[in-house]
Amino acid sequence: MSAFSYGAKNQIRQNIAALFERVRAVSKTPLTHEQFSSLFIPAEHRGMYREMAQLASGWSHNSTSVKWGSVTLKFAMNNWDAKRALPIPRDVALQHDAPAELVSDITSWAANGGDVSGDYGRVMALFDYLNDNLTKGQIRFVWPSILTVLGVTDIMSETLKDLQEIRVPSKPPELPRGLLAICRKTAGAVATASLIPADVEPFKEGEGYIEVANGQKYTEEGLGEFHGLS
Q: How far is CA 49 from CA 33, 89, 179, in A?
A: 10, 9, 49
What's the confidence (pLDDT) of residue 120?
98
| pLDDT for residue 166 | 87
- Write out residues in the chain with pLDDT < 50, as ranges: none
* pLDDT tens digits along 148-157: 999 999 999 9
- Of all helices (H) and strands (E), which one includes residue 164? helix 157-165
On whether the CB atoms of residues 48 and 55 are closer than 8 A, the answer is no
Is residue 102 a contact partner of residue 38, using CB atoms and an 8 Å limit? yes
For 175-228, the pLDDT digits (tens) are: 999 999 999 999 999 999 999 999 999 999 899 999 999 999 999 999 999 999
